[in-house]
Structure 1
Amino acid sequence: MKQFIDFIPLILFFIVYKLDPRTIDLAGHSFELGGIFSATAVLIASSVLVYGTLLAVQRRLEKGQWLTLVACLLFGGMTLAFHSETFLKWKAPVVNWLFAAGFAASHFIGNKVLIQRMMGHAVSLPQPIWTRLNIAWIAFFIFSGCANLFVAFTFHDIWVDFKVFGSLGMTVLFLVAQGVYLARHMHDDAPQQSKD
């Protein structure tokens, strides 16, 4: 459920982006709806609404949610202020690379790598497995950032589609691979039953 909530602003962004541009009148004001700039405004507004609601209900946001919100406000705000989608194209790569940096820094800060801090309460694994898993997340975020950057500046017509569906697809595939990897190691660590 939490992961779906994080995708609400992105889904709304995609829907508005795909609309044929039109002008609508609301409360005596005219607004353009459809295209990159109105979609960016919807992304910013829906992010503030979603994360503001989560903050009010839970009394906190996770660090990743704060990073996503700040990046949305910064890159989305610059996109609207300078009327250039170039800023928004940099959002996904920068956020991915900052996540990679956070996972990498956890190898040197504290006594647990970041993935272990996130999942250690639910899964018990030997330290070398946690380290490999954390490195896999670093590699994933670096690759995801590079893929987003490449598509955004090489394939202008499909970059929004890739931002929504390509990134989501890569994440799902990575999570499935992580699940298979974890299942294999959790099975290995399971106590052997006696065959008496």
Structure 2
Amino acid sequence: MQVITDLLPVILFFIAYKKAGIFVATAVAMISTLVLMLFIWLKRGKIDKMLAINGAVITVLGGITLLLHDKTYIMWKPTAIYWIGALVLLFSRYAFKRNLIENMLGKMMAPPVAVWDKLNFCWVGFLVGMGILNLYVAFHFTEDDWVNFKLFGATSLMFVFIIAQVFALRAYWIEQNTPSA
């Protein structure tokens, strides 16, 4: 369910782009993200931090895009999200001595602290690299290529990165004992 809600504004952006162009797509992404945030808040009583950050970034950069009628700002949005994520992982680990990757996955796997730190650093590197790749595609390829990359390329790279981690860390997965019927 989380994957669908994360991808919904991107999918709607893609559809709107194909039908009406970058500026309508930007407005659709802004509205769909804010509606999604409202829906989740009404359902759960709170909004996930990353969704709130995404909502703020899309509102600011999308708003500037529409106000100035300049697509550059919306093209920076994925990079901003990736780099904010990388900074949060680094800052949390070294300022607060909390590994957010361990907090998220600690009930599913039990590697040594050094492995958690490597995993955290791998995510930081991946997110920084994704931000750079987004900018490269945005400013060295066509707008249409960037939109396609945003949905298909970035999503595929994220999926491959996660699958690679599953295989690399399979020795540390904790068996979930469920009662049999």
- TM-score computed with the length of structure 2 as normaliser: 0.91
Q: Does 1:93 align with 2:93?
A: no
- Which deviates further from its counterpart, 72-81 or 100-109? 100-109
Q: 2:154 aligns with which of 151, 159, 167?
A: 167
Provide the residue aligned with 1:47 in structure 2: 33
Provide the residue aligned with 2:69 in structure 1: 83
Q: CA deviation at 1:76?
A: 0.7
* In 2, Cα distance between equivalents of 1:35 and 1:146: 24
* In 2, Cα distance between equivalents of 1:139 and 1:168: 17
> What is the percent sequence identity of the aligned residues?
33
Aligned CA RMSD, in angstroms, stands at 1.4
Provide the residue aligned with 1:22 in structure 2: none
Q: CA deviation at 1:106?
A: 2.0
Provide the residue aligned with 2:179 in structure 1: none
Provide the residue aligned with 1:104 in structure 2: 90
Letter of the structure 2 residue corresponding to residue 108 of structure 1: Y
* In 2, Cα distance between equivalents of 1:149 and 1:69: 20
The answer (yes or no) to whether the contact 2:108–2:173 under 8 Å persists in 1 is no
Corresponding residue SS for 1:108: helix
Q: CA deviation at 1:38?
A: 0.7
| Number of matched pairs | 174
Unaligned 5+ segments in structure 1 are 20-33, 191-196
Provide the residue aligned with 1:14 in structure 2: 14
For 1:57-68, list aligned pairs within 5 A: 57-68=43-54
* In 2, Cα distance between equivalents of 1:80 and 1:177: 38
Provide the residue aligned with 2:110 in structure 1: 124
- TM-score computed with the length of structure 1 as normaliser: 0.84
* In 2, Cα distance between equivalents of 1:50 and 1:112: 29
Letter of the structure 2 residue corresponding to residue 54 of structure 1: I
* In 1, Cα distance between equivalents of 2:52 and 2:173: 32
Structure with higher RCO (Cα < 8 A, 6+ apart): 2
Larger-gyration structure (1/2): 1
4+ residue runs of structure 1 moved beyond 6 angstroms? none
Unaligned 5+ segments in structure 2 are 176-181
Provide the residue aligned with 2:172 in structure 1: 185
Corresponding residue SS for 1:123: coil
* In 2, Cα distance between equivalents of 1:171 and 1:178: 11
